[in-house]
Structure 1
Amino acid sequence: MASAIKRSRTSFLTALSLGLLSFGISSCNGAWRQRIGIEKQPVAEPLPEVSDGPRSAPLKPGDNVIVEAVDRVGPAVVRIDTLKRVASPLGNLFGGRAPIQKQAGQGSGFITRSDGLIFTNAHVVEGADQVSVTLPDGRSFSGRVLGGDPLTDVAVVRVVADKLPVAPLGNSNDLKPGEWAIAIGNPLGLNNTVTAGIISAVDRTNAVGEGQRVPYIQTDAAVNPGNSGGPLINASGQVIGINTAIRQAPGAGLSFAIPINLAKRIAQQIISTGQASHPFIGVRLQSLTPQLAKEINATIDLCKVPELNGVLVIEVVENSPAAEAGIKPCDLIRDVNGTEVKDPSQVQLAVDRGRVGEAMPIVVERDGERLTLNVTPEELPRQQ
């Protein structure tokens, strides 16, 4: 285990991940053989299609764009009822309760493919023994959970049906605060409830705790238990996020949604393999400030760090991709895979956009010199 910088008064973030790859003679030879036509370039398998909805043009300005947007998406928003069988904490004590109890739950989801593919939250269907999906028109189907990712809270459910209504998927990369945000779902058992507000902020990585892998969309649209897994839509009637979390505050609550572009990427992995893949690099990071740098330089002999704002490596896991690539404690991470980073959350998100087994360049600053290290992420160990 590489040595770690002692904690200062600020709290350290949770472990993050990065990776390594060195380009050897064999890889160069392979590329040379491909260029002269001796060896064919590998053909990547196409990713699964997660949406077959038509490309929807923006709605024309009218009397009420919210009504038109809801008319477009609402028929594809479903109620998801779950049933779990859990052991009674008292068992057969005093002969009062059965050893197994049934626990009911409810959430929301939306249809993304007309043959029965549905997006929802992982926490909505986690551990469910039975899943029932009900459409606004009253039709009900038995659902099968294809998989869920607890890190991003995205899950995919499948029902056996065809010609179902589909919610058009939008693009969450270019969202701006102030745009309309419309939530549809089944809060508190009240089916087909519509609430509206605006996008309050984007890229909230500290919305539900530190070290998150999701740049949440923050909105002031009212969201309550039961809305989980339902769509957040824009004024054009396109899904831009999956409602997933709320934070209560005096006067009003704050709502957070998973960007739909991230949800699509996770869903493609779930459909292909039954689970999502997350890169791991093996470092712990700390936001560096000039004041913290002064304290480090005054109390620690391991290294001297510049007195500025940045992302400081405080620990490198032994035998991890980061260690094999040459990343060391006291390095400042400046760029990950072509993306400039200014805080640990940005490093986490940049790494998570990479792929396991594929090298990514990471630019670090060490003793005033910038170095580019090729890191090949490994698969993040899964919790059992």
Structure 2
Amino acid sequence: CLIWTNAHVVEGADTVTVTLKDGREFGGDVVGEDPLTDVAVIKVQAQDLPTVTLGNSERLRPGEWAIAIGNPLGLDNTVTAGIVSATGRTSAQIRVPDKRVQFIQTDAAINPGNSGGPLLNEQGEVIGINTAIIGGAQGLGFAIPINSAQRLAQELIEKGRVDHAYLGIQMRTLTSDLRQQINSDARNNLRLNAEQGVVILGLMRNSPALQAGIELGDVIVAMNGRTITDAEQVQRIVQDTGVGESIAMEIDRGGRQLSLNVLTKALPQQ
């Protein structure tokens, strides 16, 4: 039997103890965990355990009912209810370290101890895995969409890890203030002409971006034919790109327009 939970719940563990609602306990082996998405899979040797029905998180709309189950502050099997407040929240928006997944926002009460528990719709189908709260805020809980969790869990089951595509860049959304700041800095030779896009401020050694010919000060203005206006767009496109796939980029380099193809690689394991 396989159990999906959060990577931060089992961080550093090879084995765990799984306690069911009826009090039965089982030893569990951590099949794999992915810190970049906060998804983990546990395997227990048990038969005929109760299972859940998975919903479709792609169909979620703000205002739909959301039900959270967990053990907040050690209070077993606590059920709270609210609504889906929003979908597609990024890690930057919810103030957690860079995660390669977008989140469901809910006002169902989620507290420390809810992590790894299910978020359900009114049909009792699992639509997410509860994962994060914003400290000091009320009515702001976040869950990993179940469609994303299912894809990630399958990769963990097959390989014990998740391979993420990466470019190897440090970037910032280009604003008029940032452009003026860079252009007026006598310590560098960068001159930005683009009105909008994402400016490259750092490149990792041997990275896909460096090997494709991207340089410091380049401004990404389009990717795969889509106009780029902020760094979150770049992150989402890379997130949706498979390892070894190519991304077509339009670059503004000091007023010159260039077309480059970046062949993604797997993000090195930490």
Amino acid in structure 1 at the alignment position of 2:152: I
Q: Indicate how the Cα distance of structure 1 residues 231 and 376 shifts in structure 2: closer, same or farther if over 3 A, else same.
A: same
Cα separation, 1, equivalents of 2:33 and 2:198: 31
CA deviations over 1:314-337 (Å, ceiling 9, x no partner): 222343211111222222223444
**Equivalent-residue separation in structure 2 for 1:165 and 1:240 (angstroms):** 17
**Identity across aligned pairs (percent)?**
54
- The equivalences for 1:1-384 within 5 A come to 116-128=1-13, 130-205=15-90, 206=92, 207-209=94-96, 211-249=98-136, 252-299=138-185, 302-306=189-193, 308-337=195-224, 340-368=227-255, 370-383=257-270
Task: Return the structure number with greater relative CO, CA threshold 8 A, min gap 6.
Answer: 1
Q: State the distance in 2 between where 1:247 and 1:208 align.
A: 7
Q: 1:372 Cα deviation (Å)?
A: 3.4
TM-score if structure 2 supplies the norm length?
0.88
Tell me the alpha carbon deviations over residues 75-115 of structure 1, each in whole angstroms, 9 at most, x when there is no partner.
Answer: xxxxxxxxxxxxxxxxxxxxxxxxxxxxxxxxxxxxxxxxx
Question: CA 1:182–1:306 in 2, change beyond 3 Å: closer, same or farther?
Answer: farther
Distance 2:50 2:249 in 1: 44
Distance in 2 between residues matched to 1:334 and 1:263, nearest whole Å: 31
1:351 is displaced (CA, Å) by 0.9
Tell me if the contact between 1:247 and 1:253 (Cα under 8 Å) persists in the aligned partners. no
The residue identity in structure 2 corresponding to 1:298 is S
| Letter paired with 2:110 | V
- Please report how far the alpha carbon of residue 148 of structure 1 lies from its aligned counterpart in structure 2 after TM superposition: 0.6
CA deviation profile, 1:325-361 (whole Å, cap 9, x unmatched): 1222222223444555432233123212222223232
Q: How many residues align?
A: 267
Shift of 1:122: 0.9
Q: CA deviation at 1:244?
A: 0.9
Amino acid at match of 1:331: D
SS in 2 for 1:136: coil
Task: State the match for 1:71 in structure 2.
Answer: none
Three-state SS of the structure 1 residue aligned to 2:184 is: helix
Superposition CA RMSD, Å? 2.3
What TM-score does the superposition give when structure 1 sets the normalisation length? 0.63
Deviates more, 1:158-167 or 1:142-151: 158-167
In the alignment, the residues of structure 2 paired with residue 226 and residue 209 of structure 1 have an alpha-carbon distance, to the nearest angstrom, of: 17
What are the ranges of 5 or more consecutive residues in structure 2 without an aligned counterpart?
A: none
